[in-house]
Structures are given as C-alpha cells and as structure tokens.
Amino acid sequence: MRVVVQRVSEASVIIQNEEVASIGNGLLVLLGVVNEDSAEDIDWLCKKIVNLRIFPDEKGVMNTSILDADGDIIVVSQFTLHASTKKGNRPSYIKAAKPDIAIPLYEKFVERLNADIDKPIQTGEFGADMKVHLVNDGPVTIIIDSKNRE
C-alpha cells in the first residue's frame, strides 16, 4: 500500500462537476493498493499518517500531527501510484490491485483512519474520473509505502 500525503490549507474533489469532498486545513491522502496488501498494511499506514509530525507548532516548527492540528482528511484512490516506468514511455499499472481487491481495502483504510482521528474522513469515489484541487501548504508532500517499513 502506498500513499502520498500532502499537507493542505484547502482541498476538494469534484466528480462530474459536483463537489463531493472539501476540507480546509488538513491532509490530502492519495492511496494506491496492490494485491499483496492486507489489514496489517492498513493498520501500519493509518498509525503512521495520524502521527506524522508535519504541522507547525507554536514556534513554527513541523512538530505536531493531524490530531494536534485538529485538521481534516480527504482520501482519494489512485492506482497510478503503482505505475511502473521501467520499459518505454507508457506506464504499466499491472501491480495495481483490481477493484475486487482494492475497493474493500480502500474502504477498510478509510474506516480505520476515521476511527483513528475520530472525525469523518471525506473521500473521492473509487474508479471515478475526479478533479482534485488542493493548495499544498508548505509545500509538504510525504510518500509512504507500507512495504518499506524496515
């Protein structure tokens, strides 16, 4: 499981000209799933995300988490995070999990993250053509792969 975590001052998701998610201060999390991912990956990643100290403290130092900042989160599925670009110029997405595997893991990820921050997580729509708007604050962008834990 791979995520791109972006600290944002605002973010939104639009599907077919309708805004389906919108937050102010918080995190935009892009999530990619592979066939080998499991509940263990979800648990590890969610714990890592909610405890990342990437928000400024009273001295302006990145030393507080999303929990401390009382921010919101949008999670967007993004199979292209597992693109392989080794051969040629057209990325291969063969490593990305198919919907029958990815959707349940995506939903469990959102449920777990929601439980961890104890506030509603907003989402895009799995497999939809989404327009994601964001103002990256900092900019702060962190890439985390659950297969690189050690």
What was the pLDDT predicted at 126? 93
Listed by start position, the domains of the chain span 2-148
What was the pLDDT predicted at 149? 83
- Extract the tokens encoding 121: 């997580």
**Are the C-beta atoms of residues 126 and 77 closer than 8 Å to each other?**
yes
Say whether 85 is catalytic: no
**Are the C-beta atoms of residues 96 and 34 closer than 8 Å to each other?**
yes
- Supply the pTM of this predicted model: 0.95
- CATH T-level assignment (fold) for domain 2-148: D-tyrosyl-trna(Tyr) Deacylase; Chain: A; (3.50.80)
Annotated active-site residue in 6, 55, 64, 80: 80
Annotated active-site residue in 6, 55, 79, 122: 79
**pLDDT tens, residue by residue, 108-118:** 999 999 999 98
What was the pLDDT predicted at 53? 98
Intervals of the chain under pLDDT 70? none
**Are the C-beta atoms of residues 96 and 102 closer than 8 Å to each other?**
yes
Annotated active-site residue in 78, 109, 122, 123: 78
Say whether 64 is catalytic: no
Say whether 78 is catalytic: yes
What span, in angstroms and rounded, lies between the C-alpha atoms of 37 and 101? 9
Half-sphere exposure of 136 (CA within 13 A, CB side): 10
Q: Could you tell me which residues come within 8 angstroms of residue 96 by beta carbon, excluding any fewer than 6 positions away?
A: 32, 33, 34, 79, 80, 81, 82, 83, 102
